[in-house]
Structure 1
């Protein structure tokens, strides 16, 4: 991706930031001069990525209610506020994938807890910081990572697909509700990527047919920049 200083100094929080798309986003955003805080569950991985990138690492699980406010407080204290939130952390539900009739209720609940409720709770906890960013003319942007499984009925992907479909619709409703606050919310499908999550879901997939997380991250950064440019030109509406 071409260097663009439009992201320099922008304060970004990313969940699921130690592997796959999340890690690629942390790396590219920090290289572009953004101030980044990322969240993941494993302390050793958080420390490793923080040391590598200079981003602020936060150990936490967005699928756990009690972790949300500590995560939000660490995000805003480490960055001095927040301009962009990327809800990227995802849970497949049952592993290996299972038909809905064979899916345990607990596995469905786990997918919903991370992919839908966790994203909702963290966005809500950070809403004030995002609204302040919007008032200051900085950003106030939420990007929720969705999937084509949210719109296509793939057998075996029921828990994951249902949770991502709910996330996409929640995003659309929230975007309508926050126009007066200046906050924008987008659900983005990065495509099928060569990530640990995809390998868990489809162990025998040919990785050469999958998108590299680095490419998907670069595409998302371009959408961020487009949203920031649109904000800088009042009255212009552009689909990022």
Structure 2
């Protein structure tokens, strides 16, 4: 699917949305779909060249951020929200994927994975949720009809694990837990929180290590006989960001082509 094939329905018209890790892959597809649906989008990413190019292509704004740095994350996200005039949806998509045998993972490996995949989500959620709450208290939104929305990117690995993925799988399991607690605590503030658990997605992040044989083998795990494209995940993110998902919260939604069914 290309940008040109999207059929805009304006289901996100006027929504102010921040997407982390939106320079390429799943994040870029999500940002592109949101923009096509009428949202005002800000992309946050460490990759300045690809991020700026994606933002220019879809009519979004771009902010360079190091999500491993708490202070930088808080500062840049605040700047992005201010540029949008507020925030209605936060998509915590940014993350890293690295492999290592369990007995060879160092504590530095572990901490790096959690710092980017999980801790950054805590920081961005705090910043964005506080602004969402302030907006409602200031009369900028009707809490009964326009909940704030937080969409976190977890992984099938966070539910099933996988050899060589102890630190990655654990970080994504933590994302699922964080999402559920976020839903519990922020529900009374009219903020929903859900996460997406993709399976194998054909993105740039995994291109360097996968082979045609890998793709064929992994595809066989799905009843649909194929792997996901980034657009498959973007469609679910669009649903979660829209008013169609106003009564959905605390869920970890599989986008795995049936590779797991729970």
Q: Give the shorter-chain TM-score range.
A: 0.7 to 0.9
Q: Which moved more, 1:32-41 or 1:191-200?
A: 191-200
- Measured in 1, the distance between the counterparts of 2:37 and 2:71 equals 33
TM-score using structure 1 length: 0.88
Measured after TM superposition, the shift of residue 71 of structure 1 is: 1.7
Q: Which moved more, 1:214-223 or 1:74-83?
A: 214-223
- Measured in 1, the distance between the counterparts of 2:45 and 2:158 equals 24
Tell me if structure 2 keeps the 8 A contact 1:9–1:35.
yes
Q: Which position in structure 2 is the counterpart of 1:175?
A: 183
Tell me if structure 1 keeps the 8 A contact 2:43–2:62.
yes
Tell me if structure 2 keeps the 8 A contact 1:133–1:139.
no
Measured after TM superposition, the shift of residue 134 of structure 1 is: 5.4
TM-score using structure 2 length: 0.81
C-alpha change, 1:134 and 1:210, in structure 2 (3 Å) is farther
Measured after TM superposition, the shift of residue 65 of structure 1 is: 1.3
- Measured in 2, the distance between the counterparts of 1:32 and 1:177 equals 29
C-alpha change, 1:134 and 1:229, in structure 2 (3 Å) is farther
Tell me if structure 2 keeps the 8 A contact 1:75–1:82.
no
Q: Which position in structure 1 is the counterpart of 2:124?
A: 122
Deviations along 1:139-196, one digit per CA (max 9) or x if unpaired, are 3110011111011131111111000001110110121111211111111113321012
Q: Equivalent residues in 2 for 1:3-18 (5 A)?
A: 3-18=8-23
- Measured in 2, the distance between the counterparts of 1:27 and 1:174 equals 26
State whether structure 2 residue 21 is matched by structure 1 residue 28: no
State whether structure 2 residue 168 is matched by structure 1 residue 160: yes
| RMSD between superposed Cα atoms in Å | 1.9
Q: Which position in structure 1 is the counterpart of 2:260?
A: none
Q: Which position in structure 2 is the counterpart of 1:234?
A: none
Find the residue that maps to 1:90 and give its secondary structure. coil
Pick from 61, 64, 67 the counterpart of residue 62 of structure 1.
67
Q: Which position in structure 2 is the counterpart of 1:39?
A: 44
Higher helix proportion: 1
Tell me if structure 2 keeps the 8 A contact 1:146–1:187.
yes
Is there any run of 5+ residues in structure 2 with no aligned partner, and where?
A: 1-5, 220-225, 252-262
Pick from 203, 210, 233 the counterpart of residue 210 of structure 2.
203
C-alpha change, 1:148 and 1:80, in structure 2 (3 Å) is same
Find the residue that maps to 1:3 and give its secondary structure. coil
Q: Equivalent residues in 2 for 1:92-103 (5 A)?
A: 92=97, 94=98, 97-103=99-105
Query: How many residues matched?
Result: 229
- Measured in 2, the distance between the counterparts of 1:133 and 1:25 equals 24
Find the residue that maps to 2:228 and give its secondary structure. coil
Is there any run of 5+ residues in structure 1 with no aligned partner, and where?
A: 232-236
Deviations along 1:116-142, one digit per CA (max 9) or x if unpaired, are 100101111222222245561333110
Find the residue that maps to 1:151 and give its secondary structure. helix
